[in-house]
């Protein structure tokens, strides 16, 4: 809607040209700014520098933070028409406004609708049925999270949108009041895509490797390990944003 005569478009393009339909071209990597010149008061439609400044303000805010992750049950290989996935493990790290760790948790949550894990879930997550059977009720986690939100008012950092949707789904299953709208969820994956101009989703462990240039031990699909990796990626992201380090995830 903005691309019409008179608009100035600032682009970041690849250095190496190639031939497209007989024309020598360079691929656009990102759009930096869209503006309509109007003397001393140009109209800015889009400016990545302003957006990046806003992201830096969010992630450097001196507030408590909660880094959280979930593992979900998976449908069976067959006869899965009525299957509903449920949270079966959670892990989180709570920090104060000075980034001091206040609390760490990792525990299983007993599923309600489908108590017995499917073979697919067991193979993918490598959880034992006995571990899940001895887990806490979702009500316990719900009250725990509610207490943390009420006491600390933390910014809740997740990787992707599935964790927030998982809580909403569980609240509905258990007929509990959904208070997720009162929580400030911040999707670190989305922030990375915007800040670094990524076209595709970035995996959590690929992001970690991009920052620390090291391969984590084989991913075990453990909620606490993922929450810890999320925090480590967050710490590196803050450093990259504030010190304006050049990170090219496309090259990783």
Instruction: Give the phi and the psi of residue 115 in degrees, each rounded to 5.
Output: -60, -35
Q: Percent of the chain beyond pLDDT 70?
A: 96
CA 248 to chain centre: 18
Residues 137 and 181 in one domain: yes
Which residue, 92, 95, 108, is CA-closest to 145? 92
Region 217-238: mean pLDDT is 88
Q: Could you give the CA distance from residue 114 to residue 104 in angstroms, rounded to a whole number?
A: 28
Q: Using an 8 Å Cβ cutoff, are 223 and 70 in contact?
A: yes
With a cut of 80, say whether residue 21 has pLDDT above it.
yes
Q: What is the pTM of this model?
A: 0.89
| Calpha distance 38→48 (Å, rounded) | 20
Q: Is residue 183 part of a domain?
A: yes
| Residue 94 domain flag | yes
Cα-Cα-Cα-Cα dihedral sign, residues 140, 143, 145, 148: negative
Residue 41 predicted with pLDDT over 80 = yes
**Measured between alpha carbons, how far is 177 from 246 in angstroms, rounded to an integer?**
44
> How many domains is the chain partitioned into structurally?
2
Give the pLDDT confidence of 153-211 residue by residue, as tens digits.
Answer: 999 999 999 999 999 999 999 999 998 888 899 999 999 999 998 889 999 999 999 99
Mean pLDDT to the nearest integer, 71-92: 94
> What local confidence, expressed as pLDDT, does residue 221 receive?
82
Count the Cβ atoms, other than its own, within 10 Å of residue 229.
20
Q: Are residues 32 and 76 in the same domain?
A: no
Q: Are residues 91 and 190 in the same domain?
A: yes
CATH of the domain at 155: 3.30.420.10
Residue 193 lies in a domain: yes
CA distances from 146 to 149, 151, 178, 228 (A): 5, 9, 10, 21
71, burial (CB in 10 Å: exposed 0-12, middle 13-18, buried 19+): buried
Same domain as 144, residue 20: no
Q: Which domain holds residue 122?
A: 60-251
What is the reported pLDDT for 217? 56
């Amino acid at each position: 809607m903005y691309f019409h005569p008179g608009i100035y478009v600032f682009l970041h393009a690849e250095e190496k040209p190639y031939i497209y339909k007989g024309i020598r071209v360079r691929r656009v990597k990102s759009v930096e700014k869209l503006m309509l010149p109007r003397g001393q008061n140009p109209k800015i439609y889009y400016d990545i520098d302003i957006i990046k400044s806003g992201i830096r303000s969010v992630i450097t805010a001196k507030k408590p933070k909660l880094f959280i992750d979930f593992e979900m049950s998976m449908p069976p290989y067959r006869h899965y028409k009525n299957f509903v996935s449920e949270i079966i493990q959670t892990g989180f790290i709570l920090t104060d406004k000075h980034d001091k760790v206040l609390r760490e948790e990792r525990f299983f949550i007993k599923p309600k609708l489908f108590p017995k894990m499917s073979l697919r879930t067991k193979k993918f997550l490598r959880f034992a049925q006995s571990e899940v059977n001895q887990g806490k009720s979702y009500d316990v986690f719900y009250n725990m999270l509610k207490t943390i939100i009420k006491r600390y008012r933390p910014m809740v950092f997740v990787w992707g949108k599935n964790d927030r949707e998982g809580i909403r789904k569980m609240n509905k299953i258990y007929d509990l009041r959904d208070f997720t709208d009162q929580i400030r969820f911040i999707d670190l994956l989305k922030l990375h895509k915007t800040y670094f101009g990524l076209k595709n989703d970035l995996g959590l462990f690929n992001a970690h490797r991009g920052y620390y240039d090291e391969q984590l031990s084989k991913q075990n699909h453990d909620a606490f390990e993922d929450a810890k990796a999320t925090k480590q990626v967050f710490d590196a992201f803050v450093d990259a944003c504030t010190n304006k380090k050049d990170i090219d995830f496309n090259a990783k």
